[in-house]
Copies of this chain bind each other. A is one copy, B any other.
Amino acid sequence: MGLKEIGEFGFIRRIQTGCLVRPEGVVKAIGDDAAVFRPEPDRLGLITADLLVERVHFLRDRISGQELGHKSLAVNLSDIAAMGGTAREAIVSLAIPEDCPLAYLDAFYEGMKKLAGKYRVNILGGDTTGSRADLTINVTVIGSVPEAQLLLRSGARIGDIVCATGQLGDSRAGLQLLIDGVDAGEEPWTMLRRAHVRPEPHLEEGRMLAAAGGITAAIDVSDGLSSDIGHIAEESGVGVRLLAEKIPVSDALKTFCTRFDRGDPAAWALAGGEDYCLLCTISPDAADKVCAAFAEAFGRPLHRIGTIVKPGTFEVIDADGRAVPLEKTGWDHFR
């Protein structure tokens, strides 16, 4: 049975089950011209969208439906995390080519609903259409945040400590394995592949940091460490100095670099992208307290990877103390 047999409305009925995990805030979900929800009083609204296009962001034969559903939502939740927010409602649009099996779409929604359930995000509606070529997915997520806890990219000040909430570069290495067709059935490759196809949004980490106080700026790592810390630098009008040896890289990434003669793991971390952990800057007087609270809450360190410096400086200090200019080597879709 395919989409042609069940039709657009049959498909919508098929995916409806399990979309509402927090019904108390919803007046009308899928099935009207628009979805209707109750905004939370005394909080700011957050809204973000990400478009995932076949052959640009993913290859359908290299990522399972479940993984693609997970990732399509995760990348949006990560944006809400970077604002210090809580994710609330998701709207999912799909353009589906004729050759896309219904089983793949069922798995897609299964993966998405599982992640949505974990973070209590309702899937409130969207749009479903045909496509002549590529499977294309747009997810929009609405969230909220108390005004005093809003994290922007623009508040970093000279002297602030630059921190990362997770390891960097694994996702880019996982992508390389997919491109090179390496069988990722065994560790450490499984873990790298997983970082790429099933990133975990750092929503809890973002909330904890926002509530802790002292965080002056935050961003999620989608384009790559050097590019994303560059966004903070640009929006805040400051410079950045990172320490190569402090950039957290996994043993799996180190093994990958050695085994395939891929150079320096820190370079993969800097240029990588799609890590979906958070970068933040913390005022120096709050840094120790925040790092301790983070370690206490999550059982792993908040990695201190550098310092905010005067505008004009944008560098990484290598193992020998040499200052190497940071390149904004992250991803640009049109270049």
Residue numbers of A with Cβ under 8 A of B are 3-4, 6-9, 11, 27-28, 31-41, 43-51, 53-57, 78-80, 82-83, 85, 89, 91, 93-96, 124-134, 136, 138, 140-143, 145, 147, 150, 152-154, 218-220, 235, 332-335
Q: Would you call B334 and A34 a contact (CB within 8 A)?
A: no
Other-chain contact of A150, B27, B126, B141 (Cβ < 8 Å): B27
Q: Would you call A35 and B46 a contact (CB within 8 A)?
A: yes
Q: Would you call B47 and A125 a contact (CB within 8 A)?
A: yes
**Distance of A142 Cα from B81 Cα, bound (Å):** 20
- Chain B residues whose CB sits within 8 angstroms of the CB of A235 once the complex forms: 31-32
Q: Would you call B47 and A35 a contact (CB within 8 A)?
A: yes
Question: How many copies of this chain?
Answer: 2
Q: Would you call B127 and A49 a contact (CB within 8 A)?
A: yes
In the complex, the chain B residue whose C-beta lies closest to that of A278 is B33
Other-chain contact of A7, B35, B38, B55, B335 (Cβ < 8 Å): B335
**Distance of A218 Cα from B78 Cα, bound (Å):** 36
Q: Would you call B56 and A45 a contact (CB within 8 A)?
A: no
- Assuming A8-B333, A51-B127, A138-B51, is B46 touching A34 (CB within 8 A)? yes
